[in-house]
Amino acid sequence: MSNTAPSQAKAESDQPQQQQKPQVLEEDDEFEDFPVEDWPQEEAEQASGAANGGNEHLWEESWDDDDAAEDFSKQLKEELKKVEASS
């Protein structure tokens, strides 16, 4: 199946759209048809079939940031003085 945009259908939809925007979901929210029906595993996002493999780089694993930690430590001490002074 070809996925080339239907020229005729498109021409039809362009015109009325200028007059009135669709009321429903955003047009660009719609999942697109894939240009091909099937593809080999190598072309899938996760090429290796291993369970969970390759997934670990997608999300931040560590909350630690050594440089910022030192700054924060200083900032906290200063702020603590103010808190103690005011109470």
Partner 1 sequence: MSFLPDEFRTAYSNRSGPNLAALLTPIATPNDPDRLRSFHNFSNADYVKEDLGACLFKNKKPRVSHAEKNAWVDIFAAYWEAVGELLELDIPNLGVTPVTIFVAWKKVANALIRGYSASSGLPAWTLPCLYSVGKYLRIFAINADLHVASQESSALDFQEDVAADSEKNANLEEAARVINRMFTLAPIEESRKWGIYNTTNLLFKTYFKINSVGLTKNLIRAINAQSDDLPPLEAFPKSHIVTFKYYLGVIHFLDENYAEAEEHLTSAWRLCNRHAVKNQELILTYLIPCHLVTTHTLPSERLLSPFPRLERLFRPLSNCIRKGDLVGFDKAMSAGEEEFVKRRIYLPLERGRDIALRNLCRKVFVAGGFEEPKDGQAPVRRTRVPVAEFVAALRIGTHALGRVDTDVVECHLTNLIYKGLMKGYIARERGIVVLSKKNDAFPGTGV
Shortest CB 74 distance to partner 1, Å? 9
CA distance linking residue 5 with residue 52, whole number of Å:
36
Task: Compute the chain's Rg from CA coordinates.
Answer: 27
Shortest distance in whole angstroms from residue 36 CB to partner 1: 7
57 near partner 1 (CB under 8 A):
yes
Considering the complex, what minimum distance in angstroms separates the CB of residue 21 from partner 1? 9
The count of residues in the chain is 87
The C-alpha torsion from 28 through 31 and 32 to 35, rounded to 10°, is 150
- Specify the residue for token string 């005729």: 8
Decide: is 30 part of the binding site for partner 1 (CB under 8 A).
yes
List contacts with partner 1 (CB under 8 A). Answer: 1-2, 4, 6-9, 11-13, 16-17, 19-20, 22-26, 29-39, 43-46, 55, 57-65, 68-69, 72-73, 75-76, 79-80, 82-84, 86-87
